Amino acid sequence: TVERATPNVFADQIEYMSRNLSRREHIALSAHPHNDRGTGIASAELAVMAGADRIEGCLLGQGERTGNVDLVTLGLNLFSQGIDPGVDLSDVDAIRRTVEYCTQMDTPPRTPYVGDLVYTSFSGSHQDAIKKGFAARAAKVAAAGGDENAVPWELPYLPIDPHDVGRSYEAVVRVNSQSGKGGVAYLMSTAHALELPRRLQVEFSRIIQRHTDTYGGEIDADTLWAVFADEYLPTSAAPGLQPWGRFELRSSQVGTIDDEHVELTTVLIDSGAPVTVNAKGTGPIDAFVSALHEFDLDVRILDYSEHAMSQGRDAKAAAYVEAAIDGQIVWGVGIDPSISRASYKAVISAVNRALR
């Protein structure tokens, strides 16, 4: 039971015993590996392949010295290969709590399958791969009519679905100084329903990098939102933050001139004072940009995208604008129940950031 050799040598010993014991069919050949060399799991798995009938171990590797082989890890290794281990491991946190209560010993955060950090990625490249993996899986599930069970689990850096062991996806991606745009974009999508365009992801990840370099530690979803709101959103959308920005949208009204042109009447708050502006354009956004020319601002829209943030009558829309403002390239974001107002707010966001 003390590991004195490599797992393959231990497996050779099990195979020799299995082949040379008399009346083998009447014997349950049992392996009882400990973890003295740190290879208890490998020894157990190879022992089974070599002919062992039974593995003796403990939950979460309890036992003498470095502990017996961890039965939770052993069972979930089988599960990850499509083999039913024959035990209920659907709530690993309950197992962990029971073991910790009985032994008065904490479980290290990187314990396989059970630790606090085992389904978590901080690395930017890992987060980007996980984000793309979830997107690819969502597309496959949609093609399968929404049946999750019809699509095999094939995600990078996640050998099993955390849901299968009672965990959630909330902690899969966490942001710190090592994270990149993929992790930031994933949290903004899952926690705040914002699908940031790729170039905006790059820009915002740099802002988060500066934040983590300054304050250190990890950024949770609430802090991420506070940094995002302070950087991109008008004061009315960021309660509790210091006011910023020259312009704010008060109201707007669009009318059709002909098949190709519209007329916009908008009321903007300029440095605290309301100003009414009339402008024409080929569409509402073009007319709004023309209205800003009244303030001696050179604004050109380079890229624009939008999406609904949820379903239903109370759903809000998010709009993203990449703009050249007096020669400076900036992004702006707007959120509003009206997609038109969200677009105007995105343009204002970009202008305010350029003038900030």
> Residue 239: which pLDDT band, with cuts at 50, 70 and 90?
low
What is the rounded distance in angstroms from the CA atom of residue 175 to the CA atom of residue 189? 13
Return the minimum-mean-pLDDT range out of 10-19, 67-76, 114-123. 114-123
Tokens at 38, concatenated: 């740190």
- The pLDDT value recorded for residue 123 is 77
Q: Is the pLDDT of residue 228 over 70?
A: yes
CATH code for the domain defined by 124-224: 1.10.287.1400
* Domain definitions of the chain by residue range: 7-103, 124-224, 247-355
* Nearest partner of 32 among 55, 15, 11, 7, judged by Cα: 55
* Nearest partner of 92 among 163, 152, 159, 33, judged by Cα: 163
Superfamily in which the 7-103 domain is placed by CATH? Aldolase class I (3.20.20.70)
What is the rounded distance in angstroms from the CA atom of residue 18 to the CA atom of residue 24? 7
User: Which of 3.40.50.300, 3.40.50.2300, 3.40.800.20, 3.30.160.270 is the CATH number of 247-355?
Assistant: 3.30.160.270
What residue type is assigned to position 232 of the chain? Y
Tokens at 262, concatenated: 């519209």
Q: What pTM was computed for the model?
A: 0.65
Q: Is the pLDDT of residue 158 over 80?
A: yes
The alpha-helical segments, DSSP class H, found in the chain are 7-20, 40-49, 71-80, 92-103, 124-143, 181-192, 198-215, 221-232, 284-292, 339-355
* Terminal-to-terminal C-alpha distance of the chain: 68
pLDDT digits (tens, 9 = 90+) for 38-60: 999 999 999 999 999 999 999 99
CA distances from 250 to 46, 159, 230, 277 (A): 71, 51, 20, 12
